[in-house]
Amino acid sequence: MDVRSRNHVTVTGRSGAPVVMLAHGFGCDQNMWRLVVPALERDFTVVLFDHVGAGRSDLSAWSQERYATLDGYVDDVLEICNELTLGPVTFVGHSVSAMMGVLAAAREPEAFAGLVLLAPSPCFVDDPVTGYRGGFSTADIDELLESLEANYLGWSGAMAPVIMGNPERPELGEELTNSFCRTDPDIARIFARVTFLSDNRADLARVGVPTLVAQCSSDAIAPPEVGAYVHARIPGSRLVTLNATGHCPQLAAPEETAAAIATFVGTAR
């Protein structure tokens, strides 16, 4: 199957410029980057794509076996990089896609000029034994997944505004709700389990490319302690706390988000 069609890959921006590859999170698609793309495409080649099962990807390419772990998505990312032959890319991974970037860069570091981990979380579940705070107890995650599996549309309507934050701008929560609701519920259930049950804490130390950890000042899904944890365990990484609030700064604060990405790409070259 053609990789470009499978993942609905689109390339825009300046030809021959440094490459920025934008990867969306759970329940979203490449449209979630639309507000940052105009600022980035002035100076960079911008690669957008949909994870299989999302947006305008080829749904026939989705299988529970391939996408039951992050590895299937990592395979896709590396295949896109190899197919486009644009040279090393700066991979910008939002939320769960941040860990896809971590795994991809650990596996094939030569494919990456750098990583931008936007609102990342290597593990959403608290670990009382080590003192790690992911933001959710095991019971919280169990309840979240049970609710999602019982009534996905209802769960989307309740959770999307919490994930988005910014209650004074309800249109943002509504957009995320609509994005969730466009996702096939069966695919969403599997992707949710991958998102909320993966534990990639041990993989952070394997990253050997320049990395920016960009966290939001207030985020119900990935609290500041998580960003600090990621920064502390990726050698040589940089940490920036955006003024943006919520879990989706590319929608809530696109100018600030684009500026952080552009500044990092400029200094990482």
Q: Which of 29, 76, 203, 219 is catalytic?
A: 219
247 catalytic residue (yes or no): yes
95 catalytic residue (yes or no): yes
Q: CA-CA distance, 24 to 107, in Å (whole number)?
A: 20
Do 247 and 165 form a contact (C-beta atoms < 8 A)?
Answer: yes
Q: Which of 95, 97, 156, 198 is catalytic?
A: 95
First vs last Cα of the chain: how many Å apart?
Answer: 33
219 catalytic residue (yes or no): yes
Q: CA-CA distance, 172 to 158, in Å (whole number)?
A: 13
Tokens of 64: 């529970």
**Phi, psi dihedrals of residue 86, rounded to the nearest 5°:** -95, 0
The helix (run of H) or strand (run of E) holding residue 68 is: none
**Catalytic residue positions?**
95, 219, 247
